[in-house]
């Protein structure tokens, strides 16, 4: 009778027997988004912005006019170079006539061959001056071409810090704008050293490149909480661990044909992982103290004993994957552990993973 009274006085808790199961887990990582190409548009000539043909956020095509710079000094250079060419051509003509005049005189030995050689050297000098004048004209044409700034790629215009009339130079601190090619986007995210080692140990493949090729596609969770409809792939992993943060940088590539994702934004990369023979415990069956995680494991007399466990950190959802501290067949208190203390005997009610 006394035993029955003691049993009825025990508090009742749901108890779970730990089992080995094949499971699929996912991990979320904050990510920054960048276009596959982020090209700074900078002026190659000095001048005033005469016209801005695009607006911030506009989609542009390769070769489309973005800015017009007013740089009259280059037009003056072109006129000067054109005049220099005419002058040089006249001097070349005069020098050539002198050579032609001296040649018969040398043959008749009226003048020495020295006079002919001198005339030829003068002609070469004038021809070189003509070539230089033509090069100056070409350079002037090139500089005038630089006053019309075109988009180097298909993409989206970023911020435009300068307004019409602003003076810009090739050494200006800020670019005129940035064109981001976003038909594909990169999502950069980092994992800590422990997660990276777990990635290396649990994913199929021999080399890191092999593991990436066999890695399942990843998802992108937009800031609204909506999952982006296109899947991406993790394409590169930085070979070095950041000594300041202890993190390893990953890069995932996502298609973005409709331009929904913009460069400079943020999102969450979700990686799914298949784990064979995993020990799962409900997160509500665990508690944390002094940086360690614990469960209440039962002995054969249904006495709850606080037991430290190691789990895969950073995994969202309702369950933890246990790496150390438990084995298949162990019984743990599944919920309500806030009302438990170490060494208390309980009345066990069998439950299972939901």
Residue entry with tokens 């439950």: 351
Over the chain, what is the mean pLDDT? 87
Q: Which of the pair, 319 or 132, is modelled with greater confidence?
A: 132
- Quick check: 304 and 296 in contact, CB under 8 A? yes
**What was the pLDDT predicted at 1?**
43
In 3D, which of 129, 127, 124, 145 has the Cα closest to residue 77?
145
- Quick check: 171 and 44 in contact, CB under 8 A? no
Write phi, then psi, for 158 (nearest 5 degrees).
Answer: -90, -150
Radius of gyration of the chain (CA): 38
pLDDT surpasses 60 at 3 = no
**CB environment 77-112: b (16+ within 10 A), e (fewer):** bbeebeebbeebbebbeebbebbeebeeebeeeeee
Residue entry with tokens 């050494």: 171
CA distances to 41, 138, 146, 233 from 71, rounded to whole Å, are: 17, 16, 10, 47
Cβ-based burial of 271 (10 A; exposed 0-12, middle 13-18, buried ≥19): buried
Model confidence at 298, in pLDDT bands (50, 70, 90)?
very high
Question: How is residue 25 written in tokens?
Answer: 């887990």
In 3D, which of 32, 27, 25, 26 has the Cα closest to residue 223?
32
**What was the pLDDT predicted at 47?**
92
Taking only the tens place, the pLDDT of each residue in 258-276 is 888 888 889 999 988 777 7
The dihedral built from the CA positions of residue 320, 325, 331 and 333, taken in this order, carries a sign that is: negative
The whole model's pTM is what? 0.60
Taking only the tens place, the pLDDT of each residue in 7-47 is 557 889 999 999 888 877 778 899 999 988 889 999 998 99
Number of alpha carbons in the 13 Å side-chain half-sphere of residue 318: 5
Q: Residue 237, Cα to own-chain centre: how many angstroms?
A: 12
DSSP conformational letter for 68: E
Taking only the tens place, the pLDDT of each residue in 92-123 is 899 899 888 888 887 877 778 888 888 889 88
Taking only the tens place, the pLDDT of each residue in 122-168 is 889 989 999 998 998 888 888 898 999 999 998 899 999 999 999 99
Q: Which of the pair, 63 or 263, is modelled with greater confidence?
A: 63
Model confidence at 77, in pLDDT bands (50, 70, 90)?
confident
pLDDT surpasses 70 at 197 = yes
Q: Residue 279, Cα to own-chain centre: how many angstroms?
A: 36
Q: Which of the pair, 39 or 354, is modelled with greater confidence?
A: 39
The DSSP bridge pattern shows strands 65-70 and 20-41 to be: unpaired
């Amino acid at each position: 009778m006394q035993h029955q009274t003691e049993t009825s006085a025990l508090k009742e808790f749901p108890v779970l027997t730990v089992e080995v199961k094949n499971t699929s887990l996912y991990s979320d990582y904050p990510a920054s988004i960048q276009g596959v190409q982020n090209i700074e548009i900078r002026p190659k000539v000095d001048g005033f912005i005469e016209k801005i043909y695009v607006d911030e956020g506009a989609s542009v095509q390769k070769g489309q006019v973005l800015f017009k710079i007013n740089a009259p000094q280059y037009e003056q250079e072109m006129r000067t170079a054109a005049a220099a060419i005419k002058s040089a051509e006249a001097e070349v003509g005069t020098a050539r006539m002198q050579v032609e005049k001296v040649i018969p005189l040398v043959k008749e030995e009226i003048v020495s061959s020295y006079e002919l050689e001198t005339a030829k050297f003068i002609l070469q000098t004038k021809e070189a001056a003509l070539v230089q004048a033509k090069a100056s004209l070409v350079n002037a044409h090139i500089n005038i071409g630089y006053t019309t700034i075109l988009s180097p790629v298909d993409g989206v215009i970023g911020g435009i810090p300068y307004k019409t009339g602003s003076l810009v130079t090739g050494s200006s601190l800020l670019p005129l704008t940035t064109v981001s090619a976003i038909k594909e986007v990169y999502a950069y995210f980092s994992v800590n050293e422990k997660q990276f080692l777990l990635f290396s140990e649990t994913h199929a493949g021999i080399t890191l490149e092999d593991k990436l090729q066999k890695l399942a596609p990843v998802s992108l969770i937009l800031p609204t909480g909506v999952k982006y409809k296109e899947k991406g792939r993790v394409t590169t992993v930085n070979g070095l661990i950041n000594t300041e943060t202890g993190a390893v940088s990953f890069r995932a590539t996502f298609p973005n044909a409709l331009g929904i994702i913009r460069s400079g934004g943020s999102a969450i990369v979700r990686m799914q992982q298949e784990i064979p023979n995993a020990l799962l415990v409900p997160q509500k069956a665990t508690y944390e103290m002094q940086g360690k995680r614990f469960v209440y494991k039962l002995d054969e007399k249904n006495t709850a004993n606080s037991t430290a466990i190691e789990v895969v950190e950073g995994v969202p959802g309702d369950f933890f994957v246990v790496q150390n501290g438990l084995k298949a067949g162990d019984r743990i208190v599944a919920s309500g552990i806030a009302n438990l203390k170490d060494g208390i005997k309980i009345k066990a009610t069998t439950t299972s993973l939901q």
